[in-house]
């Protein structure tokens, strides 16, 4: 999904949730958008560049790469489990967890629409197991 889509998704979801959960809706909306900051990790690793235009070109190219396997750290089961556990300390982590799951749902739907439902690993363990024979890096 594009940053623009996730920004709209965050704003709309925050607006819809605000009457029900108050200020936590703002945290939810922000988390829906900011979860994608993890996409910087492979870009910086692969391209060693801070160019914003190259960053977007890098991610636009991914769906066209055969047998590509992505790993987005904040989209992993391990990250979700960490947020869940931290929620026992501060409930705001559960708000962020809900936002992340909401965001990931849209990502999964988009991957299915693209015909690449397995383009992303949703766990570090899954990534280690599936990466053999897959392309896991590229640069534009």
pLDDT, the chain, mean: 94
Decide if 125 contacts 76 (C-beta within 8 A). Answer: no
pLDDT tens string 91-123 = 999 999 999 999 999 999 999 999 999 999 999
Give the predicted TM-score (pTM) of the model. 0.91
pLDDT tens string 19-48 = 999 999 999 999 999 999 999 999 999 999
Q: Enumerate residues 6+ apart whose C-beta is below 8 A from 93.
A: 83, 84, 86, 87
Return the pLDDT at 1: 67
């Amino acid at each position: 999904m594009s940053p623009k889509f996730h920004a709209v998704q965050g704003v709309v979801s925050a607006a819809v949730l605000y009457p029900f959960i108050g200020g936590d809706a703002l945290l939810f909306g922000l988390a829906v958008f900011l979860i994608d900051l993890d996409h910087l990790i492979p870009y910086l690793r692969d391209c060693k560049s801070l160019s914003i235009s190259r960053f977007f070109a890098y991610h636009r190219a991914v769906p066209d790469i055969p047998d590509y396997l992505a790993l987005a750290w904040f989209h992993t089961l391990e990250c979700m489990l960490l947020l869940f556990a931290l929620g026992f300390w501060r409930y705001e982590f559960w708000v962020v967890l809900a936002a992340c799951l909401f965001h990931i749902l849209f990502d999964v739907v988009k991957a299915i629409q693209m015909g690449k439902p397995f383009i992303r690993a949703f766990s570090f363990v899954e990534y280690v197991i599936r990466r053999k024979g897959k392309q896991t890096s590229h640069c534009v």
